Structure 1
Amino acid sequence: MMRRLLLPACLAALALSAAALPARAQPVRFVAFGDMPYCQPAAPERCPAEEGRVARLMATINAARPAFSIFVGDTKGGAELCTDDKLLRALSWMTLADHPLVYTPGDNEWTDCWQGRAGRYDPQERLALLRQRFFPGAESLGRRPMPVQQQAAPFVENARWQRDGILFLTLHVPGSNNSRPAEPGEPGAAGLPRGPAALAEFEARDAANRAWLAASFAAAPEARGAVIALQADMFYRQVCGQGYDSGYRAIREAIAGTARAFGRPVLLINGDSHYFVHHEPLEGVPNLTRLQVPGEADAQAVVVTFDPAADRPFRFELIGEAGSPPARPPCAGYDSSIRSTRAG
């Protein structure tokens, strides 16, 4: 009788012990994309086709069933006028996401709106519209929004959240030199914002970005890994040997230092250059991987699987429609010096 009672008791003890063991954290699977649709004012009849490609991509993303998606800026082409309807057009296709969608602005939505081809709008007024309409509260976009933490006003576009022990955050770092006027003699000055108001806006936002980066990592000291999403290709000058860089130095150095101190896998996602690459961009920071998503010619997204415990923590899969012809590298360096332009 005693022996028959002991067996179930032992099994129960084993079951309780197994239940007490921590379960292995699961990989997080999400989607990153940006820089679309690009309509051309010289060929307005083609805009519905471009919008259709984005709608089909959204259906493909939905079919992939990601935990969420991140759109890294440029919801319109740089040559399109910065009218309210053009800037707010993205709200319609972003609502096609049947999962949470997080958005961080690009340069085409506000930074470059001062240019003649974009209608000579006030960039800061356009930025205020984006903040009001795309970031009205502490939650994502999409049909099933998720709560996020927002930075204090006016920098409400900066968000952070956690999923399965991984920290995610956005930083508002757009192309066109992060909206910083060029330094004296810096290449590309003609296409950059000008004047003391632009410089003051840049300095305030750049400081806010660095503060948000530091605060986000400080708030998640036990995170297994981290993802930082922004719009600008901050490495274009390093890879291509040309162009401006003064607006990116401080935030790039802050990301490098933060990732190095963190010591666990960090993924930096950007758009801007419209060409799919992934590599380790910073010497001395081997735990930092950069993913640049495709865009413009290629209506494609990248499915990212992030498993910080794996030997290769990141897996990338392209989905969607390549252009005809597909995007070309922005310079020869992107073909020769970047380790991989293929999913893997």
Structure 2
Amino acid sequence: MRAFLLLLLLALPATADAEPFRFVAFGDMPYCNGRDEAACAGELARVEALVGTINAAAPAFSIFLGDTKGGAEACTDAIIIGRTAGWMGRLAAPLVYTPGDNEWTDCWQPRAGGWDPLDRLRLLREHFFAEPRSLGQASMPLLRQADADPAHALFVENARWERDGVTFLTLHVPGSDNNRPLDRDPALPPGAAAEYPARDAANRAWLEAGFAAASAAGSRAVVVALQADMYYRDRCGRGLFAGHFAARAALAGAARAFGRPVLLLHGDSHFWLQDHPAPEAPNLMRVMVPGDGDTRAVVVTVDPAAAAPFGFALIGAEDRVAPPGCG
């Protein structure tokens, strides 16, 4: 009997001794309009203050859910690389970043300077995703899709890591309908038509691989982080949808098959929201973080052994809290 019990204990997943921990999720900041330098300096100061608040909270790591600038700001190297690297580099704990639409997808717009979005995406990849490690002062190793899957070697921004029995993965799914060109302005540059389907396929492959790894490891939960509010049309009854359809279906299917808690983190619509967006996958919870002037972050407390492993608290300036809406 003692030998049987020993074998049973050895067969248990490594998550049996997983300890509770905390991490931070935030995004969609600083938002400047590019025409008011003083106001922009104020927005950046608010983000710098939030960085201090996050450092004081001492999370295991943070996740930035895209949009490092406002849509009306120019997509210059100085803004999307220099300014962003400056405040991100002051985060003490590891920081994982997944891009949003404002720093590349929408850069073709005149208000953003009329840049080639694919060139801006290239620059982001070269600067923020050159190594298989997180950003922040204390970096941590990440498994990049580019390293794990030679068929998708371009996608250095998609990452995976594990913490105390919870599997985390990022997917590069930005707003503006996931950069799907058929629903976008015809002035998009050459190459844009091929970008969306390749990245959409890579995201679904990385999602499948992440859930397979989580199941193999006996993970108690999975956290998926991306930028886009893929359920905006469900809530508001309007807006582009087709570019998110495949990713939504893949996420719901993977969550349902996994059967354990799954947390989706995203930004894009700029107010706090917690719900279950996919009736076909009731174990899928989503949290949308504030942003665009509502300069707060979400502290996520994780107890891997609990039936409901995720708890949430907002930190940061509460003077410009954004109400739910469809703006």
Same fold, judged at TM 0.5 (above): yes
Aligned residue in 2 for 1:69: 62
Q: Trace 1:116-135 onto structure 2 (pairs within 5 A).
A: 116-135=110-129
**In structure 2, do the counterparts of structure 1 residues 150 and 167 end up closer, same or farther at CA, with 3 Å as the change threshold?**
same
Q: Deviations over 1:160-215 (max 9, x none)?
A: 000001100000000000000245xxxxx45x874762221000000000011111
Moved more, 245-254 or 220-229: 220-229
Return the offset for 1:102: 0.2
Does the CA contact (< 8 Å) of 2:145 and 2:159 recur in 1? yes
Return the offset for 1:154: 1.2
Does the CA contact (< 8 Å) of 2:261 and 2:308 recur in 1? no
Is 1:143 aligned with 2:144? no
Taking structure 2 as the reference length, the TM-score comes to 0.90
Aligned residue in 2 for 1:199: 193
Q: Which has the higher contact order (CA 8 A, sep 6+)?
A: 2
CA distance in 2, matches of 1:126, 1:196: 14
Secondary structure of 1:220 counterpart: helix
- Equivalent residue pairs, number: 308
Does the CA contact (< 8 Å) of 1:267 and 1:288 recur in 2? yes
- Overall identity of the aligned pairs, in %: 59
CA distance in 1, matches of 2:37, 2:283: 44
Q: Deviations over 1:72-94 (max 9, x none)?
A: 00000000000100111110101
CA distance in 2, matches of 1:312, 1:223: 14
Secondary structure of 1:136 counterpart: coil
Which amino acid in 1 is paired with 2:98? T
CA distance in 2, matches of 1:124, 1:46: 29
Return the offset for 1:43: 1.5
Which amino acid in 1 is paired with 2:42? A
Which amino acid in 1 is paired with 2:206? W
Is 1:330 aligned with 2:310? no
Aligned residue in 2 for 1:338: none
Q: Trace 1:172-183 onto structure 2 (pairs within 5 A).
A: 172-183=172-183
Does the CA contact (< 8 Å) of 1:36 and 1:296 recur in 2? yes
CA distance in 1, matches of 2:280, 2:130: 39
Does the CA contact (< 8 Å) of 1:34 and 1:75 recur in 2? yes
Q: Deviations over 1:105-164 (max 9, x none)?
A: 000000000000001100000000000000110000000000000111310000000000
CA distance in 2, matches of 1:91, 1:251: 29
CA distance in 2, matches of 1:142, 1:253: 33
Q: Which runs of 5+ in 1 are unaligned?
A: 1-18, 184-188, 333-344
Secondary structure of 1:63 counterpart: helix
CA distance in 2, matches of 1:193, 1:318: 40
The correspondence for 1:277, drawn from 244, 252, 273, is 273
Does the CA contact (< 8 Å) of 2:66 and 2:100 recur in 1? yes
Which amino acid in 2 is paired with 1:85? A
Return the offset for 1:327: 1.8
The correspondence for 1:240, drawn from 219, 236, 243, is 236
Q: Trace 1:78-97 onto structure 2 (pairs within 5 A).
A: 78-88=71-81, 89-97=83-91
Which amino acid in 1 is paired with 2:26? F
The correspondence for 2:19, drawn from 22, 26, 41, is 26
Aligned residue in 1 for 2:252: 256
Which amino acid in 1 is paired with 2:163? R
Return the offset for 1:216: 1.6
Q: Which runs of 5+ in 2 are unaligned?
A: 1-8, 147-152
Structure label with greater radius of gyration: 1
**In structure 2, do the counterparts of structure 1 residues 301 and 200 end up closer, same or farther at CA, with 3 Å as the change threshold?**
same
CA distance in 1, matches of 2:187, 2:50: 33
Question: What RMSD over aligned residues (CA atoms) do the two structures have, in Å?
Answer: 2.0
Does the CA contact (< 8 Å) of 2:214 and 2:222 recur in 1? no
Q: Deviations over 1:1-57 (max 9, x none)?
A: xxxxxxxxxxxxxxxxxx999864222310000000011223221111111111110
Which amino acid in 2 is paired with 1:117? R
CA distance in 1, matches of 2:207, 2:307: 26
